[in-house]
Amino acid sequence: MKFATLLCFLFSFTLLSNNSLINPQQLWADFDPDKGAFKEEIILEEVRDGIYHKESYISAYVLGEEVRIYCKYAVKEGANKAPALMDVHGWMGRPHISMSYVNDGWAVLAHDYCGKSGDRAHYTKYPEKLRYGNIDAKVGYRIKSKLPDGSYITDPKQTDDYLWYALQRRALSYLLTQKEVDTERVGAKGYSYGGTIMWNLGMDERVKAIVAYFGIGYLEYYRTKSVWLYNNPSKSPEKTPGEKLYLKSIAPQAHAPYIKAAALWLNGTNDHHGGHERSEHIFKDLPKSTPWDFALQARGHHNTEKLGDDDKIWLEKHVLGKKHFWPKRPVSTLALNSEGVPHYTITPASPKEIESVKIYYALKNPVSYTRAWRDAIAIKKGNSWEADLPVLNIDDYVFAFANIRYKNNIVISGDFEAAIPAKLGKAIATDKPSSEMSQNAWSDTAPLEGVGGIMGFRPFNKHRGTSNEQFSDPKYQAPKGAQLTFKFYCTQPQNLIMKVNGRYQYDLEITASNDWQEITLDCKKFIHSHHNFPLKNWSEAQKIQILPKAGADITKVIFAKFTWTKN
């Protein structure tokens, strides 16, 4: 090895070794979000319905480069000492101001970090050296644990996340210069990837409270390599140097020990981000003085509409100082009952304030966003709620959690509980497979009684159709060699599409009749949309969708009795 090459290698190794020790607090110690002129360029300024609106460009200075950040700002006209709120959009999103907060008296700023995409008139402008800040793959590119040439990062500042973290801190500085703002009362909320980068903002001492929707971390390495917390058997591949550095310095969960803002996380159990059960662990690393809580919407994907007024009450409590009631964390257990059936118990705080308790459980599946959650029968005993959780296999995991709704419309989730029943004692399996699927599991549908008194369901979403993800539950998984049979009723022919796991597709022609019709589908009729090979077995199905083709009206079709049948 030549001396110059050896010297370069040693320098890179030393740099990597040193940076692998950098935690987020050390990484941001020399970053001053107030440094440099904003060079504000106002492109819109008006008052509408008593609300002052402003759109502008400001400058941020990151890694020796100047970035022009596109911002939107709104506040009640004539406001004084208004609490400030950063409103951070999601992946490929645009700056969006939550007007409900503006109407409640907040001064709200939303900034763009997506960059150039499509025909957007206004967006954050990244210089060529920071082109990777653009989320759109047609313009930018991603840097997580690897660089574009395939080599590993050697400095956490090389990542796209670092750039987006820096921009939101600079945008916060700009928000705090607005004449209407009370700089002592500052909150922030982020949606989707805006929730992911929200944890860095939670380190900023100017922010009193944050709300993260969906994003929480455990994506790099954990999701990308399917390192699910409850893989059975467990799976922990060796981390690359780039992954070690990213996880130490940049990943959202790495920020936990340094977060001072009161932190609330709202998520759907079936959201496509990192496994929510591992994500709950982020709170164990928060400083003891930092308030935190979370709520999960059972079967929620990118939606949290059933989680009450959590975000509003949280921000008002921790930013505005309002004396809102907020309960302490509940205590839960997963054990066996006297007969050996898995049994879940949760004891919430402040039982007199409780409106309802719902218990959910799922079986086997380690992949959080494809789990099929069941509603357990919750029985109140004293100040606790309990439920039996029948299983099919005592050697597979059973998962459970509960949602507690309080009278002031707060929803709190209990800790995620998981256990292999056989390891809890003399467990027994009391559940049985079902060849007939639950009609309630189909999304966007309404129950309907058809001809001859047969109960079915009608999809009511003309565009999205309906879907069912119940098949990841072992109870409803297709036996090998089975076929899918179902009934349909429609008096006008419709052209639909059936999809399996989002990739396998079949053109479903609904013929007209004044009576129920029945169809049996072999799995081999479903062809992969990219690779043109058939579905091997219905037992591989985890999700089935029924969608309308252009011009079809799926709301005119009634479906019933989806069952697995043998030849």
**Domain spans in the chain, listed from the N-terminal domain onward:** 7-318, 331-423, 439-565
Strand order in the sheet with 379-381: 331-336, 342-347, 384-388, 379-381
Q: Residues, the chain, total?
A: 567
Per-residue pLDDT at 305 exceeds 80: yes
pLDDT at 525: 97
> Pick from 169, 187, 168: which is nearest to 112 by CA?
168
> Pick from 391, 386, 377: which is nearest to 420 by CA?
391
pLDDT at 496: 97
Query: How wide is the angle at C-alpha 368 spanned by C-alphas 293 and 333, nearest 5°?
Result: 55
Per-residue pLDDT at 264 exceeds 50: yes
Question: Are the beta carbons of 286 and 257 closer than 8 angstroms?
Answer: yes
pLDDT at 485: 97
Strands (E), 330-407: 331-336, 342-347, 354-363, 374-375, 379-381, 384-388, 398-406
Question: Are the beta carbons of 376 and 359 closer than 8 angstroms?
Answer: yes
Share of the chain above pLDDT 90, in %: 90
Share of the chain above pLDDT 70, in %: 96
Give the model's confidence band at 21: pLDDT under 50 very low, under 70 low, under 90 confident, else very high: low
> Pick from 443, 549, 541, 427: which is nearest to 496 by CA?
549
pLDDT at 186: 98
Q: pLDDT for 86-114, tens place per residue?
A: 999 999 999 999 999 999 999 999 999 99
CATH (one of 3.40.50.300, 3.40.50.1820, 3.30.1510.10, 3.40.50.2300) for 7-318? 3.40.50.1820
Q: pLDDT for 341-386, tens place per residue?
A: 999 999 999 999 999 999 999 999 999 988 999 999 999 999 999 9
Give the model's confidence band at 494: pLDDT under 50 very low, under 70 low, under 90 confident, else very high: very high
pLDDT at 9: 37
Per-residue pLDDT at 222 exceeds 60: yes
Q: Which residues pair with 332 in a beta bridge?
A: 346
pLDDT at 383: 96
> Pick from 175, 185, 183: which is nearest to 73 by CA?
175
Per-residue pLDDT at 4 exceeds 60: no
pLDDT at 16: 43
* Distance, CA of 444 to CA of 457 (rounded, Å): 10
Question: Are the beta carbons of 456 and 558 closer than 8 angstroms?
Answer: yes
pLDDT at 499: 97
* Distance, CA of 218 to CA of 254 (rounded, Å): 10
Strands (E), 301-460: 331-336, 342-347, 354-363, 374-375, 379-381, 384-388, 398-406, 411-413, 417-419, 445-449, 455-459
Per-residue pLDDT at 536 exceeds 60: yes
Mean pLDDT of the chain: 94
Q: pLDDT for 234-263, tens place per residue?
A: 989 999 999 999 999 999 999 999 999 999
* 3-state secondary structure at position 262: strand
Superfamily of domain 439-565: Galactose-binding domain-like (2.60.120.260)
Superfamily of domain 331-423: Immunoglobulins (2.60.40.10)
Q: Is the peptide bond before 233 cis (omega within 30 degrees of 0)?
A: yes
Give the model's confidence band at 159: pLDDT under 50 very low, under 70 low, under 90 confident, else very high: very high
Give the model's confidence band at 7: pLDDT under 50 very low, under 70 low, under 90 confident, else very high: very low
Instruction: Tell me the backbone φ, ψ of residue 522, rounded to 5 degrees.
Output: -80, 145
